Amino acid sequence: MIEQETRHLDVDSDIAAIDTILDVFGLSLVDVGCGPGDLSRALVERGAQVLAIDPDPKQAAVNAAADTITGLTFCEAPAQSIPAGSASMDGVVFSRSLHHVPSVEMDAALREAERVLKPGSGFLFVLEPEMTGSYYELMKPFHDETQVRRQARDALRRVADLDFSRCETYAYETLSNFVDFNQFRERIAARTYLDIDLGAVDAPEIRQTFENGRRGSSYLFTAPHWVGLYRGLKTTRSPHID
């Protein structure tokens, strides 16, 4: 695989990064691990047809009850079982979701993404948070994702690096803004797909780290991100190893 030098983007949101990297108008996309569907809706607003899947029953139920949007289909499904036909999609997006796939299923999830991609033109877009930044330091004591994020990048090296002929890589930084600690706590509690002890979130050291983020009347935390855009899916894929 040919990997280009990482390009640093002057953007502060996921959709702004996508706008810089891709034109999704008229494309059929899968948003894997879509969560509440914010990115899915933004992609539809830009003219894409989006199949938004999430394995969490609670989140999937909320999504199913949301107002219908033309071009957007929500579905409860895991990454390793995308409800789409083979060679039917222009792109598959993993936005902060690959590291949430069980580690033993990450390779299978990537191969499933490859299955649904159109030959030649299909692309894989993977957005993963880095293990640095003040937001990561805030989260790490009660929700340490160091290992699973490394496992996600390892899975990409085992599968995507071998199965695609080229990869563009990008880096950018987002900024999380909170009015107070309660808002931060409520945001964590809303993530039904995470098994987080809210008592641990309330620990004095977490509150102190949060207080360190005060900037005037707000609390600000940075989060660097990495993007891999894989193109040129090969007809001969990496071997499946059980």
Sequence-distant (≥ 6) Cβ neighbours of residue 14 within 8 angstroms: 39, 95, 127, 174, 225
The residue ranges of DSSP E strands in the chain, in sequence order, are 2-3, 7-8, 28-32, 49-54, 72-76, 91-95, 123-129, 164-178, 214-215, 218-233
**Bigger pLDDT: 79 or 242?**
79
pLDDT at 240: 54
Q: Please give the Cα distance from 19 to 236 (Å, whole number).
A: 31
Structural element, H or E, at residue 40: helix 38-45
**By the 8 A CB rule, do 124 and 91 touch?**
yes
Q: Please give the Cα distance from 201 to 235 (Å, whole number).
A: 47
The one-letter code for the residue type at 217 is S
Percent of the chain with pLDDT over 70: 96
Q: What is the average pLDDT score of the chain?
A: 94
Q: Using one digit for the tens of pLDDT, what is the confidence trace for 2-11?
A: 667 899 999 9
pLDDT at 162: 96
Q: Using one digit for the tens of pLDDT, what is the confidence trace for 164-207?
A: 999 999 999 999 999 999 999 999 998 877 788 899 999 999 99
Q: Using one digit for the tens of pLDDT, what is the confidence trace for 137-160?
A: 999 999 999 999 999 999 999 999
What is the model's pTM? 0.92
pLDDT at 242: 42
Return the closest-CA partner of residue 95 out of 53, 157, 141, 133: 53
Q: Please give the Cα distance from 225 to 143 (Å, whole number).
A: 18
Percent of the chain with pLDDT over 90: 90
Q: Using one digit for the tens of pLDDT, what is the confidence trace for 29-66?
A: 999 999 999 999 999 999 999 999 999 999 999 999 99
pLDDT at 236: 65
pLDDT at 241: 47
**Bigger pLDDT: 44 or 235?**
44
**By the 8 A CB rule, do 41 and 154 touch?**
no
SS3 content of the chain, % helix, strand, coil (to 5): 35, 30, 35
Sequence-distant (≥ 6) Cβ neighbours of residue 202 within 8 angstroms: 185
- Give how far Cα 64 sits from Cα of 76, 83, 87, 210, Å: 9, 16, 26, 34
Tokens of 145: 């994702």
pLDDT at 71 over 70: yes
